[in-house]
Every structure is written in structure tokens, then in C-alpha cells.
Structure 1
Amino acid sequence: MGNCSGKQHKPPAGIIPSELLKKTPSVQEKPKVELIPLPLPTPPECINKGSPVVKLYGPANSTATFYIRFGILYKPVSLQYTPSNIVESPVLYCDSDVVSGSPEEIFRYLDSKFPEPPLLVKGGGSVNSFGWFDKTTPLVVWMVNLQHRSMMWHLERMVRWAEDMAHRGGKTKGDPVMGSPKMEMKKFGRNYEALMEIMLEHARMEERVVFPILDKADRGLSKAANEEHGRDLPVMNGIKEDIKSIGVLDLGTPVYQEALLILSNRLKKLKENSKQHFEEEEKELLPYMEATDLGKVQQGKVLEQCLDSMRETHGHNFRFFLEGLLPQDAIHYLDMIIKSSDNNRVSLMLHMVVD
């Protein structure tokens, strides 16, 4: 366990088109404008043979151990993890440094030792495009916002991927790791199915958990947002059928090329509609959640209800979902769940990501 090789691991959310990979900065580069979510490597957590080695000792079934192992996935290091019940809490060894304490303390050390990409947000937390999110923002609002970020990242990736396939039209191959055009379309379909499942669960979660809280405080407050959820369902189903149809068409034919263009345009429409819907919620609806005066205990219960409403997102799609978040946002998302959910649920979720 913990042995590293120089082999590159493919992103678990499916293989990303080479065009997108070229536009994603490495973990050692400092982005000029904004940070971009980075694919989580598949364990063993190895960047390359020359990367620094960190050693971690801790109880195998400890939530804290899983959490720290998850954070280390983002860093340009090779992890050698050894399960140990001798220590009560995880201990990290790096060069001559020995670090123990809470996951946050170890993340703070890792950020000082390996600044990019950061795991913790400096100054109290990230904000959305409207700038009003802070430490007093209800947990459920943060959860909704971070889910929006992940879904939008995946939508933008799918749009660019579809555009790339439409440009090639089945006549030329893309990145060799994508395989043949038919193999690539199957991978594209699996990615879209995961994204669609997350989007549908997110909508149901809002309808069953978030909107009722707002409507209880002010009847009809979420009516417009609720109605918009059904607007894009035909488009989403149409994209799914397009992908199936393209898979059986003859490569490079005019019909095949036209089908790829239709797929690309439908995805663009879905992305535009989703962006508008998410921004309207964050600007016009979610700020009212703070006025509902949910206490800490209530916020924890609401978060549990959200998790119960999105079992697949936080189950077999969890790694895919996290890939759409910046490292610091992924850490924030997990931190909320850890503080509000039972250890068994959290350990199972993290186990699916790090093992």
C-alpha cells in the first residue's frame, strides 16, 4: 500500500477530451485568472516519480483519516498511507516535519508546504458571483450553491466535448486515450448519464427540502423556481436519446455529422438555461433562507434531508460530482457533511473516493 509508479491515472469521471486537459493548469501552476477544478487521481495517489513523499498513519476506519487522504489527493505529492490503530488521530510525516491534530490543521500545514492548489479558503470562505455568501450563510444554501458550481462545470465540459466531436464529425480521431469514435461516444454517454442523474436529484432535493422551508415562511415564494424545474426535462431526455442514436449511426456520414451538431446545440441550450436558473435562485431566492432563522440543529437536520434526497449523487456519483468543484470547494462541501451527518455515512462516502 502506498507504492507509487510513474503511470498516469485517468480521471474517474470519464476521460476528458485532450483539448480540455490542455486548458487545465497543473497543480504546480498558479492560474492567472481563476482556479479550475482538477481531476482527482485514482489511488494510489501518485503524481510522478519525482514528487515529494508524505507518510500518513491513522485508524483505517476513521473519518478524519479518510478526510485527510482525500485532501492529499489534490496535492503534488505521493502518499504512503499505513493503517495504524496505535495513534488515536492521524499523523503526517513530511521530510523532517511531524504533524498531528485535526484535519483542518493538517490541511493548513499542507497548504503552507504545497500552496497549489489550496485546500482551505483564506479569509473565511469563498463566495458566489453575487458576493453575499459568508460564514453566517445557512448550510443548505452553501450546499445548493456548491452543487450549482459542480453541475455547471460538468455542463461546460460536456458542451466543449460535444463541440469537439461535432468538429471532427467522426472522420478524425481525437485523443488516443478516447479510443475509437464509438468508444468515445459511449464514454460521453456515461458522463452525461451521471450528470443528468445529479441534476434530477438536485431538482427533487430542492422541491422536497429547500422550497418547502421558504414557502412555509412566505407561501408561493419558490413557485417560479419550482416551475422552471420541468422546463428542461424534455431537453435533457432529448440529449439522452441523441446519444443513443449517434451510437448506431454510420461514422462520418452527413446524418452522423448532423446528429452531432444537434447534440451540441441541445447541450448548449441546457447549459444556458441551467446557468440562468441557478443564477436566479442564488440572487433572488436563496438569500431569503437566512431570514427563516434556522438554528444549528435545524440546519443539520435539513442537510441530512438533502443527503437523503440525493443518494446517488452522494453514492456512486460522488467522485464524479466532486470533480466539478475546486479543491477548496470540495473540502468545504465535505466539511459541512462531516459536521452535520453521522460518521458511518461520511466514512462510506469518503471510502468510495479514496479507495
Structure 2
Amino acid sequence: MGNCVRTSEKLTAEIVPHGGGATVYPAVRLHGSPNSIFAAYTRFAVLHNAVAAPPSDATPCTAARGGRSEAAVPMVFRLGHDGASGSRDALVRFIDAKFPDLAEEEEVAAAVTALDGGGGRGEEAASLAVRVTRLQHKSMTWHLERMVRWAEDLVTRGGTRAVDPKVGTWKMEVVKFGRRYCQLLEMMMEHAQMEERVLFPIFDIADRGLSKAAKEEHARDLPIMNGIKEIIKSVEVLDSRSPNYRETLHNLSTRLKSLQGLCKQHFMEEDVELLPIMEAVGLSKEEDESALEQCFVVMQGTHGRLLKFLLEGLSPHDAMKYLDLISMCRDKERMEYMLRMAVE
């Protein structure tokens, strides 16, 4: 992937994509093991509520691993004179009560889902791998839309630096644009590999050729995605005063819009036509959990250095759903690693 393998520069506190104008709350304190999955999960819930992050001076103790239960690592969440302890769900309920931003988001998301005629109980009852796939579709859709808007703005300005000084010079902005696209490209490629290595074989065993169209669309889109990366490289090296600079920017914007349209249609077809068939396949609980595990194994980059990037494209409600799925990972060390990557 070359220069595509980059670490996200965004802070954890910045990964609330649909926020803005959130209430400012006092700092909170989290006591317990710094290595506990409770700590990672609770910190993430707090950060998505735009609350000051709990300090990392938690009392050292052994993290839950292997056969030890989560209850073996007590966590205490304190806000002034108030506090809560117990299970992960108890801590999250306390956060929802004290900081209502996330709770309100969940109510809105549930209402929208009901109006759309999807999700709800049916979504929660779906295969674990299907739920992961659908949430990844949401994140990639959000990031693609963002890249398209950004490219349109670059075309409009045509070499003129942004008003916001934090963006830096035009050259710096173009480099940042390239980094963000490379992150998205890596996530999309890993997502396609996950589907082809984990989900599609399950469908094809039940009905050979069921995933043929989806595979063909993956093959169709790959050259387009790589082509966009090459155009971005050209934009980075071209002089912004050169005659064909605006034309190159326009070509970049057009290609991104085309990719956005193709991906939107592809994701919708999978969500509506292909993924619901998983219920008819009738996976056992063991097979379903194994498929979920393989999703995380195949998408190592996405669930490592790019996990914050993935979660950035989800609403707080959906981001917590994704962490719930990560917490179902049977490999405890991998699960703890992924949860910590969400907040470190």
C-alpha cells in the first residue's frame, strides 16, 4: 500500500462525526485496572459523550484474560460525589443517565431505523458477521461522502489555501487528503477481502453462485479505487499554477463521485438482497461466532491502527454497537487489543 499505511492523526476526542455544540461536562475519574476491557469500553462511551477523558491513573491490577470473567476486574466510575461500579452495562447506564447526549442519540437512531423499516429487533437478531458488515458499510459510506465533498471544495478553490489556518498550506491539505483516502482505501480493500474469504463462501455453500454478482462488483471497483490514488499522487506533485492542474482536480472529483455511486448501490444490494439470506443459511451459534472471529482476523489493519477511522464514520449509537460486537470476540487478547485501540 506504500504511503497508504499511515496512523490516523485524529485525537480520540475528535471522533464524534455527528456532534457539535455538545454540553461541556466536568472531568470524570475511572478507577480500576488500566488494562481492563471495562476501562476501554467505558472510556469510549465517555469520549463519545464529549466528556473529558478519565485519567489513566487507574489502580494497577491484573487484567481479565483467558477464562477469567470480566467481573474479576472491578471498575469504579466517579463524577464528583456520585459513582457507579459493577458490570459494563451498569457503567454505561450510569454514563447515559449523567451525560444524556448518547442516550438521546440512541433514541433518535432507533426512531430513524423504525421509520426506514429496517434494523430494530431484526437487526439485533441478525448474524454477528452480518451486523459487522452492515456497520462497516455505514462507515465507508460516510467517509466516501466526506471525501467527495472535500474534493469538490478543492476544485472550487483550485489551488487557493483554505481559510482555516489549521488546515495549513494548499500542499499540506492535499497531502492530508491523500492520507485520508489511503485510509479509506485500505479499509475498503480489507472489507472486500473479508466478504470474499468469510461471508461469500458461506453463501456459496448454501447456493453456489449466490455471491457471484458481488464478487464481480468488487473486481470492477478495485481499478477505480487504485486509479483515484494515482490521481491524488499527480495532484500532490503538480504545480498548482500549471495549465492542467484544475483539470486534474476535476477528474479526481468526478472519479470519487463515480466511486461513491457505485459503492452506494453495491452496499444497498448487499444489505437488502444478500445479507438477509444469512438467516436462511441457519448458522449455529458456534459457526456464527467463528465467522465473526474471522472477520476481525482478516481485517487486521481496520481493527488495529484504522479502528478509530472506522468508528469515526459511525454515529455514537452505531459505534457502541460495533464495540459490543468486538467484545464478543472469543480471543480475549485480540478483543482487549481492539478495545484499547479505540481509545488510545
Matched residue, 1:11 = 10
Tell me the TM-score normalised to structure 2 length. Answer: 0.86
- Supply the distance in 2 between the matched residues of 1:119 and 1:149 (Cα, whole angstroms): 20
Matching of residue 75 in structure 1 with residue 62 in structure 2: no
Does structure 1 retain, via aligned residues, the 8 Å contact 2:161–2:169?
Answer: no
Within 2, Cα distance between the matches of 1:107 and 1:147? 23
Equivalent position to 2:180, from 183, 191, 204 = 191
State the shift of 1:341 in Å: 2.9
Given that 1:68 and 1:106 are in contact with CA atoms closer than 8 Å, whether structure 2 keeps it comes out as yes
1:221 aligns with 2:210: yes
Structure 1 letter corresponding to 2:81: S
Question: Which amino acid letter does the alignment assign opposite residue 84 of structure 1?
Answer: T
Aligned partner letter, 2:22? Q
* Residues 1:112 and 2:97 are matched in the alignment: yes
Give the conservation status (yes or no) of the 8 Å contact 1:169–1:252: no
Give the equivalent residue in structure 1 for 2:5: none
User: C-alpha distance in 1, partners of 2:132/2:214?
Assistant: 17
Question: Hey, what does 2:68 align to over in structure 1?
Answer: none
Partner amino acid for 1:312?
A: G
Structure 1 CA distance for aligned equivalents of residues 105 and 60 of structure 2: 28
CA offsets 1:226-277 (integer angstroms, 9 cap, x no match) = 1111111121111100110011111143311111111011001111100000
Secondary structure of 1:93 counterpart? strand
CA distance in 1, matches of 2:129, 2:105: 20
Does the 8 Å contact 1:28/1:117 carry over to 2? no
- Partners of 2:18 and 2:298 in 1: how far apart? 32
Contact preservation (8 Å) 1:158, 1:267: yes
| 1:175-214 map, 5 Å | 175-214=164-203
Residue type matched to 1:131 in 2?
A: G
* Partner SS state of residue 118, structure 2: coil
TM-score normalized with structure 1 length:
0.83
CA separation of 1:315 and 1:76: change in aligned 2, threshold 3 A: closer
CA change 1:24–1:282 in 2 (3 A) is: closer
RMSD after superposition:
2.6
Deviations, residues 15-58 of structure 1 (Å, cap 9, x unaligned): 99xxxx9x9541527xxxxxxxxxxxxxxxxxxxx631211101
How many percent of aligned residue pairs carry the same amino acid? 47
Residue 131 in structure 1 maps to residue 118 in structure 2? yes
Q: What is the CA distance between 1:135 and its match in structure 2? A: 2.2
Distance 1:248 1:179 in 2: 17
Per-residue deviation, 1:119: 8.6
**3-state SS of 1:117 partner:** helix
Give the direction of change, closer, same or farther, for the CA distance of 1:72–1:309 in structure 2 (3 Å limit): same
8 Å CA contact retained: 1:72, 1:79? yes
Check the 8 A contact 2:36/2:73 in 1, yes or no.
no
Are 1:265 and 2:249 matched, yes or no? Answer: no
Which is helix-richer, 1 or 2?
Answer: 2
User: Cα offset for 1:122?
Assistant: 5.2
Whole-angstrom CA distance in 1 between matches of 2:271 and 2:183: 24
